[in-house]
Structure 1
Amino acid sequence: MEAVPASVRPVLILYCGLPGAGKTTAARERERETGAIRFSTDEWMADLGLEYFDPLRDRLQARLDRLWRDLLEHGQSVILEDGSWTRAERDELRWVARSSGAITELHVFDIPVEELWRRLEGRNAGPGHGEVPITRELLDESRARFEAPDEAECALFDCCVVHR
């Protein structure tokens, strides 16, 4: 692996959206385009043979957080596709990126709930590797906890892309 030139700033690419919004598909495409390292906690859980809601998830997430922060500090761009559901989480991630001298790129997925559910029903029929089966009840609970970024928050990032 070649060292990143000092003049090139790494990018922290965040994906913000509910299950079924298309985050993983978009993150994989962005990974191919940029060479950034993509982090998906669900895929790690599947790779380790753990249930998606296993109590070890929090410990794994903490370790992955240390890893991507180290990579960013060393000039490697990273993609976080886990959803960034709250404003406080996105504020912290943006602060970490800025502290590392990184550029921030936010991708917001604004997909109507009925379209999300349609996609999830299809995915639930035969989930792929790292795809968590999501019930309608869990989707509705997720919507209640989700804090969508507004225009003012988007303006805090170096780049903000809204996917509809």
Structure 2
Amino acid sequence: MKYSNLGPTGVSLAWPLSRPVVILLCGLPGSGKTTFARRRERETGAIRFSTDEWMADLGLDYFDALRDNVQNRLDRLWAQLVERGLSVILEDGTWQREERDELRHIAERLGAGTELHYFDVPFDELWRRLETRNANPPYGTVPITRELLEDSRLRLQRPDQAEFSLFDRFVVHH
């Protein structure tokens, strides 16, 4: 078995000097979550979790019935890393307030700091980006139809000021 592609080189996984941080990303497809998460991963050494990429790595379709199993395993894995003092970036969009609350509570129980990054991009710009991405989809992404984007927009529960105040840090990206 080869281990040449296990992750970025030069990233120290030594115990951090301060408490770990769980970074939640909230936003629709095409809003810039992955671009931000990859940059933050390089800059900080936090471990990035993308269920879509794991599904692709396992040869599973985005809508495969095993998605929940993969997500549950990834949730256990990131929690173990946080317990060991490492920061994580959870890239899965977290559209529902209930999901964000649950993840924040887990992070707090583990003694981690919490950040919420909300990607607030106008619908027409999202669709423009997705049309470009759909033409040549990068690895681990799923082609998104306009209908699916519309449905996603209806299901998104946008964070408000009251929710932002529950996190140690929050940022709105436009």
TM-score relative to the length of structure 2: 0.91
SS class of match (2:18): coil
The offset of 1:16, in angstroms, is 0.3
Q: Which runs of 4+ in 1 moved over 6 A?
A: none
SS class of match (1:50): coil
Aligned to 2:163: 153
Q: Among residues 27, 36, 39, which one is paired with 2:46 in the alignment?
A: 36
Aligned to 1:123: 133
Q: Is the 8 A contact 2:13 2:45 kept in 1?
A: no
Amino acid aligned to 2:164: C
The sequence identity of aligned pairs, in percent, is: 69
Aligned to 1:4: 15
The offset of 1:10, in angstroms, is 0.2
Q: Is the 8 A contact 2:97 2:159 kept in 1?
A: yes
Aligned to 2:147: 137
Whole-Å separation in 2 of the counterparts to 1:2 and 1:53: 33
Corresponding pairs, count: 163
Q: Is the 8 A contact 2:13 2:86 kept in 1?
A: no
Q: Among residues 30, 34, 40, which one is paired with 1:24 in the alignment?
A: 34
SS class of match (1:38): strand
Whole-Å separation in 1 of the counterparts to 2:74 and 2:52: 12
Whole-Å separation in 2 of the counterparts to 1:29 and 1:3: 20
The offset of 1:50, in angstroms, is 1.1
**2:64 matches 1:48:** no
Whole-Å separation in 2 of the counterparts to 1:11 and 1:91: 15
Give me the CA root mean square deviation. Answer: 1.0
Q: Among residues 94, 102, 105, which one is paired with 2:112 in the alignment?
A: 102
Call closer, same or farther: CA 1:150–1:2 in 2, change over 3 Å.
closer
The offset of 1:3, in angstroms, is 3.7
Give 5+ residue unaligned stretches, structure 2: 1-11
